[in-house]
Structures are given as structure tokens and as C-alpha cells.
Structure 1
Amino acid sequence: MQTIATTPNIDMLIASGSPVAIGVSGGKDSQASALATFSHLDRIGHTGPRLLIHADLGSVEWDDSHRICHELACHLGVELQTVRRKSGGLMERWEARWLSSVERYQSLSTVTLVPCWSTPAMRFCTSELKTHVIIAALKRRFPAQRIINVTGVRRAESAARAKATIASADAGGRIWTWRPIVDWSEAEVFATIDRSGLLPHPAYRQFCMSRVSCRFCIMSSLADLAAAAAQPEAHHLYRRMVALEARSTFAFQGSRWLGDVAPHLLDEEGRAALARGKAAAVARVAAETRITKPMLYVKGWPQRMLSNEEADLLAHVRQEVSHSLGFACRFLDRESIHARYAELIAANNSIKLAEVA
């Protein structure tokens, strides 16, 4: 049996009967983490409430993910609580982010277009749709209690996760995030699942994917993207995501277009739209690279007025981007850009004065 990692603070909370909630996604790490944690809690006599909690991301989820979570809950004899973001799943979040980006660009509330997709450096897919909704649900369920929130994070997964600690608390010390299998290998994870008599998600051994999260994940390798696209259940989502690539002119993974992974799944119009999107992306990047760093906003606000030359440059860039993407933009000449910058600077100064007062 693999040894789990723990800390004195976690041990103290367990001994005091604090609630233990294990986040499960249907993936192997959360499955193994739940099995190992329950075994440990049984062994040391934990008497507090326990549950599994799953954040449903909507249409991006694999069909089998909820089933795997449900089977795990039945095996452990515990409740599975499913939570969701009220304003929609991850696909809806990406689409809404693009609409917001367009609106902000048209009104010159941003100098360059903001990508619609989450990225490895900006994983709002995890923070907004998983962590936030899970923590909020746990606080409502266990008011005024300190809660142990278990995750299946492992250091071997990535360079970023190599820095993960065994446990950490939020600012108020109410939510303790515990990573009991942080030092496990992938082999140890699968061995724990196999020993339990449960099966891991079919995406691993049937679809031949190396990781299971969303059907198409921003962290996926090319091989995983291709394996996902080969599954019929993913075809509708694939076309929807490629359509967003095409109209936003932003590739799903930076320089890697999801539309290039399985173009045979697109109809003639879908392939034509993607080609137009790629051409518009080239024009957008060529135009926006002329914008200098001092012209960019800081935390959403301009820091100074532009010179006439800078205003002219920004006007030309906005004209080119608007034409390439078919936007109905305002602020396309020197005078209107100067006026808009003055308006934004005044608004920001008013906010700062109100904060001081």
C-alpha cells in the first residue's frame, strides 16, 4: 500500500472531526486520491463527515466522467455532490469571454484583442469553474467549520506542480487544501485503482489518452487531441470549438489550431471559415505587433495620454484589425482616440480618489 503525505495541521483537523471533501473529476488522480484518503481516514478513526464533490464543466466533459465519479462514490459508500457554475459550463465561458473581448476592443477598453481561451498561465477553467464553485459549496454546506479539501495533485505531473505543497490553508484558515498523493507516481495511481476493483476512466486504456480532463484540454498533447477527436461523442464539441477559433482568430493552444487536428470532421463551410480565421489572425498579429509596450494599458487603464504619432499608429492598427475581423469599431482616428484616453484616465482617477476617501 502506498503511503499518503500528511502534515500535523491536517492530522489535527482529522482528529477533531473536520469535514473531508474530496474533489473528483473522473480522472485517475482524483480517483486514486479518494481511495487512498478514505483508507487512511478509516485506519485512523476519522469521525467527521466525508463526501466526494464533482465540478461539472458542461459540454466539455467526457460522457463517462460523471459515471466514474458515481461508481467511486458507491464503492466508498459516500455521497457524491455535483456543483456547476451558474452562468454555464466552460464552453459557454470561452464564448462569453470572446464576446466580452470584442465589446471591450470596439470601445477601446483594451488596446489589443484578448484571447478567448484559457491558457496554462491563466487557467480560469480551473479557478472559476472548479475551485471557486467547490469552495463556495463547501462553505455553504459546512458553515463556521474548518474543512479539508482534498485534491489529486501530483508533483510528477508538471514543472508547475512539482512545487506543490502537501497542504495549504486559505487566508482565513478555514479551508485546508490537502494533497495526499502529491509524491505518487502514475504507476502507483493505477495500481491503487486496479486493487480497488474499480476501472479507471475509459479514456486512458480505450481511447489511449495520457490524461483525462476536458475532452479537449489546453494542456493536452497533440496525440491526446487527436485521440479525443477520434471519439464520436466529441465531434459536436470539436466543431463548436473550431468555430470559435475561426471567428476569434485565436488558436486553441497558442500556435496550435484545434481545427488542424481533425479537419475531416469539418464540413466545407467549417473549413472555409477556419481558413478565413487563420488569414485574419495573421493580419491581426502583424498589425498589433506595431503597438509599443508604453501604449498598452496597465490593469485595464491607460497610464498616460498618447502622442499624436502614437494615436495615429493605434488608429491605423485598429482600422486594420477591424477590417480583418469585420468589427464595427469606434475610435479609429487621432482625435477620437485622444478623447477616449482622456475619458478613461479621468474615470480611473475618480476611482482612485474614491478609494482613498
Structure 2
Amino acid sequence: MPPITNVALTGDVVALVNADAPVAIGVSGGKDSQAAALATFQHLDIVGHAGERILIHADLGSVEWNDSFRICEELAGHLKCGLVVVRRKAGGLMERWESRWLSSMTRYETLSTVTLVPCWSTPDMRFCTSEQKTHVIIAELKRRFRGKQVLNVTGVRREESRNRSRMSVADADATGRIMNWRPIIDLTVDEVFALIDASGLHPHPAYRVFGMSRVSCRFCIMSALGDLIAATGQSESHDLYRNMVALEIASGFAFQGARWLGDVAPHLLTSKGRDGLAMAKEKARRRSEIEKRITRRMLYVKGWPTRMLTNNEADILARARSEVTELYGFQSRHLTPDSVRERYAELLAQKQQKASQP
């Protein structure tokens, strides 16, 4: 393979490489992490890096493609390095979405939030990445390389999105121990595939066999419709598909905002499932209409509640809660204006007590 001349570097990265700092490369089975590992190892070999190198894979559970771990294993074998697998102790991503819905119901029933909270991660709230990948990987690196500075490599590329186009080549975390390095940040998608092909390895079959443009979870919150359709074409994804649609039905929240996953491949659902999806859409419509009556000043914000509701606001919230509770069959408390105001008084008193503690 010819030398990689466009690996992105900074002075801080060069200094850590020259000091033989440990290098950990996050791999998912997707093309970008595969290419990042190949490019990074080649660069480290060229400059004579003698520090420890590992690949690290965050297992997301049932949402993962069957081939993803195999791709990571083949990559580790090719590079002759260790492959470390980490997992969130509380379960995979599907379990996280399900537990988030249970939490949303409980918080609503106890008036610990104003409106129901969606169970799914979103492009603006990607806890699927932060909780399932970043946090567990960084925790493992700090444990494994205790007391050392570590180069944490990711396959982020500027071409992927507007947000990523503004990302830097490298940046340190708050502790200064982890230097996040994005060595292929300026590579194009064609260069990524060329790098993989030149290595003699193969990219994940989802690209060239399944017909997908990106590989992460089988069904990703960032996926275009074409990728969702391609994913449903694979039999290995059918059980997950039905489980995710079941959560859409239970929660009344579509997987991608306005796009219901259940609409992508309704033929994979039973007649009961299709009927349930239709009911969920109506539930979502009615919930949206009910919650429109709640004024902006009444909505949940950080530090909520920040004030006592007026009598009129308490009446609005009590009526909305009663209707949503009936719609979902919840066991909610605080469904009258007086009870709503009593709950707010209780929460405000708890805040004041907490603030007064040393």
C-alpha cells in the first residue's frame, strides 16, 4: 500500500506520537473507522511509533449488524493488534430506548415533567453516541492507560455533515488526558473506499451488498429513507424492526420525528401491528393537539420549575394532563388545578432546600 500523505496532524498529536503515547482507535465496522485505523497504523509505522496500539469497539447490542464485529476482528488481525470490546452496563441501545420510554411515563405520571419525552435519540440529542460509545470508550481508556495521555482516534470526516465540517483535527478533553484525533477528517468517501480496497480488506457488506450509504446501527436516526428500506431487506434486521415499531406503537412517537419506521416496511408487520401503528399515529396527533394548549412559558426548561403557575396555567396543565392520561391509560397523579399547584409548591420547596445545603 502506498504511504498515506494526507493524514491530518496537529503539533499536539505529533508530540504525543513522538512520545510513544498509547493510541486507541474506535472501530464500529463501518468504512470510516476502518479507514481511520488503516491510515493511522501506517502513519505510526512510518514515524516509528513504539507505543501501545489497540482497536476498541463499543457493542450496541441488538441494533448492531451481524457483520460489524467480524469486520472489526478482521481489521485487528490485519493490523496485528488487540481488539477491546466495551458495553454500557445497563444494556444496549434498544434497551436504552425502552428504558427511556418507561422513564418518560413515570416522570409524566408524577408530574416531574410537563409533556411526554420522546424515547428515541435525535440528531440534536445523540445519546446513542455519547452514552453507548463515547462514555464507555473513554472510561475504558482512562482505566486501561491510567496516568497516561492517550490518543483517541475516530473516523470523523468533514465531508459527512455540516456539523462535522467545522470540527478540528484534534482536541483534548477537560482532563487533558485524552487527545481526540481525527486523522482522516479531510478524506473523501472515494478515498476511504480506495484505502480499504488497497489494504486487501473488504468494507462492511452493507455498502456493496445491502446497498446502504452508511453503516452504524441497522436502523439509525440519521439514516435516509433509502438506507432504512435497504435495511429492512435483510432478514437479520426483521426482529429488530418489529421491536422498534412496537416501541413506536407503545410510545406514540415516530422513530425519526415525522417519519414512522413502521411505514418503511409494513409488510413485515402482522395485521395487529399495522392496526397498532395506525392507532399510534392518531394518538400522536391527539397528543400534539392537547399539548399545543400548554404555553411556552409553562414548558420544561433546565432548573424546572422556576416559578409557581398561575391559576389559569394550572387549569390548562391539569386539563392537558387529564386528557393525555386518558389517551395513554396512565396512572397519573396531579390532575386537578389545586393538585398541580401543590406539586409545583413541593418541587419548588425541594429546590430551595437543596440550594440552601452547603
Letter in 2 for 1:249: G
Q: Does 1:60 align with 2:63?
A: yes
User: Structure 2: how far apart are the matches of 1:53 and 1:238?
Assistant: 27
Secondary structure class of the residue paired with 1:64: helix
| Superposition deviation, residue 298 in structure 1 | 2.3
Q: Does 1:43 align with 2:46?
A: yes
Secondary structure class of the residue paired with 2:284: helix
Unpaired stretches in structure 2, ≥5 consecutive residues: none
**TM-score (structure 1 length as normaliser):** 0.98
Query: 2:13 is matched with which residue?
Result: 10
User: Structure 2: how far apart are the matches of 1:72 and 1:9?
Assistant: 27
Which one of 21, 25, 40 corresponds to residue 22 of structure 1? 25
Residues 274-316 of structure 1: CA deviation (Å, up to 9, x unaligned): 1111111011000011111111232252111111111111111
User: Structure 1: how far apart are the matches of 2:163 and 2:329?
Assistant: 39
Unpaired stretches in structure 1, ≥5 consecutive residues: none
Where do 4+ consecutive residues of structure 1 move more than 4 Å? none
Is the CA contact 1:297–1:303 (under 8 Å) kept in the aligned structure 2? no
Residues 32-78 of structure 1: CA deviation (Å, up to 9, x unaligned): 00000000000000000000000000000000000000000000000
Query: 1:349 is matched with which residue?
Result: 352
Q: 1:236 to 1:300 in 2, by over 3 A?
A: farther
Query: 1:337 is matched with which residue?
Result: 340
Which one of 284, 287, 293 corresponds to residue 296 of structure 2? 293
Q: Does 1:276 align with 2:275?
A: no
User: Structure 2: how far apart are the matches of 1:57 and 1:298?
Assistant: 30
Is the CA contact 1:109–1:300 (under 8 Å) kept in the aligned structure 2? no
Is the CA contact 1:2–1:188 (under 8 Å) kept in the aligned structure 2? no
Letter in 2 for 1:241: M
Q: Percent identity?
A: 64
Which one of 163, 169, 173 corresponds to residue 160 of structure 1? 163
User: Structure 1: how far apart are the matches of 2:126 and 2:133?
Assistant: 10
| Superposition deviation, residue 148 in structure 1 | 0.3
Which one of 110, 116, 120 corresponds to residue 107 of structure 1? 110
User: Structure 1: how far apart are the matches of 2:172 and 2:152?
Assistant: 10
Letter in 2 for 1:139: K
Letter in 2 for 1:120: P
- The number of aligned residues is 355
CA RMSD, aligned part only? 0.7
User: Structure 1: how far apart are the matches of 2:196 and 2:5?
Assistant: 12
Query: 1:72 is matched with which residue?
Result: 75
Alignment of 1:305-320 (within 5 A): 305-320=308-323
Letter in 1 for 2:59: D
Alignment of 1:167-182 (within 5 A): 167-182=170-185
Q: 1:169 to 1:254 in 2, by over 3 A?
A: same
Secondary structure class of the residue paired with 1:99: helix
Secondary structure class of the residue paired with 2:66: coil
Of 2-11 and 46-55, the range deviating more from structure 2: 2-11
Is the CA contact 1:57–1:90 (under 8 Å) kept in the aligned structure 2? yes
Which one of 239, 248, 267 corresponds to residue 264 of structure 1? 267
User: Structure 2: how far apart are the matches of 1:186 and 1:95?
Assistant: 34
Query: 1:243 is matched with which residue?
Result: 246
Is the CA contact 1:296–1:302 (under 8 Å) kept in the aligned structure 2? no
| Superposition deviation, residue 325 in structure 1 | 1.2
User: Structure 1: how far apart are the matches of 2:193 and 2:327?
Assistant: 49
Is the CA contact 1:110–1:300 (under 8 Å) kept in the aligned structure 2? no
Letter in 1 for 2:222: M
User: Structure 1: how far apart are the matches of 2:121 and 2:100?
Assistant: 10
Query: 1:230 is matched with which residue?
Result: 233
| Superposition deviation, residue 113 in structure 1 | 0.5
**TM-score (structure 2 length as normaliser):** 0.98
